[in-house]
């Protein structure tokens, strides 16, 4: 046990009982399937043939113990913050002056999204001590039993976590929900944060200047409009009735798999070629702890705030140094001038040549290089 500043940090090890894995396989084999979709593509959702094949592999080919061993080979801990146990991976660099870094995932990601980058980030001349927590209600963190655990509360918890680990000076990086949380860390804990790296920054155009858009900005808005019409059903359900969809996500592995894999298909660079195990590793981080409802509640708490940033209606600024990476298949692709309306000290801006929403999983080398390039400027 390690005694922290204000509480205990307790070593944690994953050990899923064999009967839980047997139950999963049994549920998959007994799935009640719908009829095939009457279209020849993914426009109505995950095709029946694709999902049946994936779930058959999940039941009879996929080996959770491999991923469990990968996680257990890393230093994992839990500590309670504001009544919620927080699970995190803590990879300390052997380099003496490594920069502490807290890295945050979103939905439908998890800490396994970053397994390919933890080792490289902790090595080399620009090394980091990496703290990689599971969001409250996600993975092996606890599930909040009260409202209020939105972006700002999680950011406060992460600042407390870094203080508890003895880090008076650190950086923050995130994607998806991790972007908003990292930006909020920069606002709330500016005296301890050397900079935040946002993948990508969440920012929209000036509502009063929509007649002055570049072709790239017009394309970005068109992509957001398409997303709102054709890709946002999951978000609307999470943001309005997370408990209702949660019953199915916790009870049916086939539904959970479709709910998550659809997003891996829609949000990744086609050239990234994620494996079935890459996707199922993340699905398992929702199935095993039963977080279908608890993870969705973050949308109920905070999606309206995020939408206000994207629309330009909310204009609170982030004034610590900021790095921005906008991968080509990302959902939001703001221009730098949009981002500068909210982030007042952008030190680094880059648009890498490949990758999508799950950049650390899709393009780990590019992801690591992006972080090194920004934090090299603010160390």
| Any domain includes 46 | no
In the chain, the percentage of residues whose pLDDT exceeds 90 is 91
Span 87-96, mean pLDDT? 96
Structurally, the chain folds into a number of domains equal to 1
**Backbone phi, then psi, for 60, in 5-degree steps?**
-125, -5
The mean-pLDDT minimum among 2-11, 278-287, 298-307, 353-362 falls in: 2-11
| pLDDT interval class at 208 (50, 70, 90) | confident
User: Does residue 85 carry a pLDDT above 60?
Assistant: yes
Which segments within 22-142 are labelled E, that is strand? 76-81, 84-91, 99-104, 128-133
User: Does residue 2 carry a pLDDT above 50?
Assistant: no
Span 88-107, mean pLDDT? 97
- Contact between residue 40 and residue 199 where contact means Cβ atoms under 8 Å apart: no
**pLDDT tens-digit map of 179-194:** 999 999 999 999 999 9
pLDDT at position 1 is 34
| Any domain includes 175 | yes
Q: Provide CB contacts within 8 A for 215, sequence distance 6+.
A: none
Report the C-alpha gap between 76 and 92 in whole angstroms.
11
Q: Roughly what angle, to the nearest 10 degrees, separates helices 151-164 and 292-311?
A: 110
Task: Label the pairing between strands 193-199 and 322-325.
Answer: parallel
Span 90-119, mean pLDDT? 97
User: Does residue 5 carry a pLDDT above 90?
Assistant: no
| Any domain includes 151 | yes
| Any domain includes 49 | no
pLDDT at position 310 is 77
User: Does residue 3 carry a pLDDT above 50?
Assistant: no
pLDDT at position 9 is 97
- Contact between residue 254 and residue 55 where contact means Cβ atoms under 8 Å apart: yes
| Any domain includes 50 | no
User: Could you give the 3-state DSSP secondary structure of residue 84?
Assistant: strand
| pLDDT interval class at 164 (50, 70, 90) | very high
Long-range CB contacts (within 8 A, 24+) of 235-240: 235/299, 235/303, 237/296, 238/107, 238/296, 238/297, 238/298, 238/299, 238/300, 238/303, 239/299, 239/300, 239/303, 239/304, 240/300
| Any domain includes 48 | no
**pLDDT tens-digit map of 285-341:** 999 999 999 999 999 999 998 888 777 677 789 999 999 999 999 989 999 999 999
Give me 260's structure tokens.
């998550």
Span 163-172, mean pLDDT? 98
Report the C-alpha gap between 71 and 14 in whole angstroms.
8
**pLDDT tens-digit map of 47-69:** 999 999 999 999 999 999 999 99
Q: What is the CATH number of the domain that holds 261?
A: 3.40.50.1820
pLDDT at position 273 is 81
- The average confidence (pLDDT) of the chain is 95
**pLDDT tens-digit map of 247-294:** 999 999 999 999 999 999 999 999 998 999 999 999 999 999 999 999
| Any domain includes 45 | no
| pLDDT interval class at 211 (50, 70, 90) | confident
Q: Provide CB contacts within 8 A for 259, sequence distance 6+.
A: 108, 234, 249
In the chain, the percentage of residues whose pLDDT exceeds 70 is 98
User: Does residue 138 carry a pLDDT above 90?
Assistant: yes
| Any domain includes 324 | yes
**Residue 217 belongs to what domain range?**
2-30+55-375
């Amino acid at each position: 046990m390690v005694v922290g500043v204000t509480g205990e940090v307790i070593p944690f090890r994953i050990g899923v009982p064999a009967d839980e894995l047997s139950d999963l396989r049994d549920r998959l084999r007994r799935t009640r399937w719908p009829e095939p979709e009457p279209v020849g593509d993914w426009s109505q959702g995950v095709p029946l043939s694709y999902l049946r094949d994936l779930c058959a592999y999940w039941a009879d080919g996929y080996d959770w113990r491999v991923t469990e061993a990968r996680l257990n080979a890393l230093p994992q801990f839990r500590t309670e913050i504001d009544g919620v146990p927080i699970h995190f991976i803590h990879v300390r660099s052997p380099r003496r002056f490594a920069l502490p870094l807290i890295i945050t995932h979103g939905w439908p990601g998890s800490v396994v999204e970053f397994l390919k980058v933890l080792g490289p980030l902790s090595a080399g001349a620009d090394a980091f001590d990496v703290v990689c927590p599971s969001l409250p209600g996600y993975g092996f963190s606890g599930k909040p039993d009260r409202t209020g655990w939105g972006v700002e509360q999680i950011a406060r918890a992460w600042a407390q976590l870094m203080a508890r680990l003895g880090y008076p000076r650190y950086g923050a990086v995130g994607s998806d929900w991790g972007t908003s949380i990292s930006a909020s860390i920069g606002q709330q804990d500016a005296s301890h944060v050397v900079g935040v790296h946002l993948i990508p920054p969440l920012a929209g155009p000036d509502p009063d200047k929509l007649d002055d858009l570049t072709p790239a900005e017009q394309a970005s808005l068109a992509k957001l409009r398409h997303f709102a019409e054709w890709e946002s059903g999951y978000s609307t359900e999470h943001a309005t009735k997370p408990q209702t969809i949660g019953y199915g996500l916790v009870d049916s592995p086939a539904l959970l798999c479709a709910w998550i894999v659809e997003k891996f298909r829609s949000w990744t660079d086609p050239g990234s070629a994620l494996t079935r195990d890459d996707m199922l590793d993340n699905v398992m981080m929702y199935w095993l702890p039963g977080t279908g409802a608890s993870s969705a509640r973050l949308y109920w708490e905070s999606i309206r705030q995020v939408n206000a940033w994207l629309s330009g209606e909310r204009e609170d600024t982030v004034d610590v140094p900021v790095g921005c990476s906008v991968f080509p298949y990302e959902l939001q692709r703001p221009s730098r001038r949009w981002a500068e309306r909210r982030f007042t000290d952008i030190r680094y801006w880059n648009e890498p040549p490949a990758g999508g929403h799950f950049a650390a999983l899709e393009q780990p080398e590019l992801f690591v290089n992006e972080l090194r390039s920004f934090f090299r400027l603010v160390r």
